């Protein structure tokens, strides 16, 4: 019998977590949290954090490549489904143009903070997010490899 690996135990996710946190510090000048731990411990800490952290890649229709446990619960998806979901599907059709403009602004500036808006779970539950921060994710060679977002506050509407 093989041991089940949690997402944060996978080597690719451990490296991705490092990119998320390095990029956050690069753009904001702040640490999301203390990084003086083993990379696998940092990955576990971020996955189990009480706030939402998500990221998507650079595909034409970006697909999520990370969602911590809080995000998975909020969007009512398991890991495998979440990382196959186009990120635009988390916004209702009426606000997708606004979302696209926000992502374009992030692309130009490096990060955008204090965004608030409505998102939708996989089962159709609507929730309002407050003070969302979005940043560009840089790879190991400082190449652009996606965007990430984080927020602490949400309420169902």
Q: How far is Cα 137 from Cα 146, in angstroms, rounded to an integer?
A: 5
Domains, the chain, ranges and CATH?
Answer: 7-156 (3.30.450.20)
**Location of structure tokens 């083993």:** 38
Mean predicted confidence (pLDDT) in 116-123: 95
Give the lowest-confidence range in 36-40, 54-58, 74-78, 131-135: 36-40
- pLDDT at site 1: 43
pTM of the entire predicted model: 0.94
Q: What secondary structure does DSSP assign to 65-132, as a single string?
A: EEE-HHHHHHHT--HHHHTTSBGGGGS-GGGHHHHHHHHHHHHHHSEEEEEEEEEE-TTS-EEEEEEE
The answer to whether the CB of 85 falls within 8 A of the CB of 78 is no
Spell out a b/e string for 136-145, using b for 16 or more CB atoms within 10 Å of the CB, else e: bbbeeeeeeb
For 1-22, the pLDDT digits (tens) are 445 568 999 999 999 999 999 9
- pLDDT at site 120: 96
**Radius of gyration in angstroms for the set of CA atoms belonging to the chain, rounded to a whole number:** 15
**Location of structure tokens 């041991």:** 3
Mean predicted confidence (pLDDT) in 13-37: 92
- pLDDT at site 5: 67
Lookup: tokens for 40: 């696998």
- pLDDT at site 4: 53
Mean predicted confidence (pLDDT) in 35-56: 94
- pLDDT at site 36: 83
Cα angle value 113/90/129 (rounded, 5°): 40
């Amino acid at each position: 019998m093989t041991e089940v690996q949690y997402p944060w135990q996978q080597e690719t996710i451990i490296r991705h977590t490092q990119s998320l946190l390095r990029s956050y510090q690069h753009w904001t000048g702040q640490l999301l949290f203390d990084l003086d731990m083993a990379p696998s411990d940092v990955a576990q800490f971020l996955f189990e954090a009480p706030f939402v952290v998500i990221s998507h890649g650079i595909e034409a229709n970006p697909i999520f490549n990370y969602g911590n446990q809080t995000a998975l619960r909020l969007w009512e998806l398991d890991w495998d489904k979440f990382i196959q979901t186009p990120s635009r599907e988390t916004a209702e059709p009426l606000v997708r143009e606004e979302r696209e403009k926000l992502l374009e602004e992030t692309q130009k500036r490096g990060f955008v903070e204090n965004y608030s808006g409505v998102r939708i779970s996989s089962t159709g539950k609507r929730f309002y997010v407050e003070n969302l921060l979005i940043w560009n994710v840089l790879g190991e060679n400082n190449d652009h490899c996606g965007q990430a977002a984080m927020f602490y506050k949400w309420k169902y509407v």
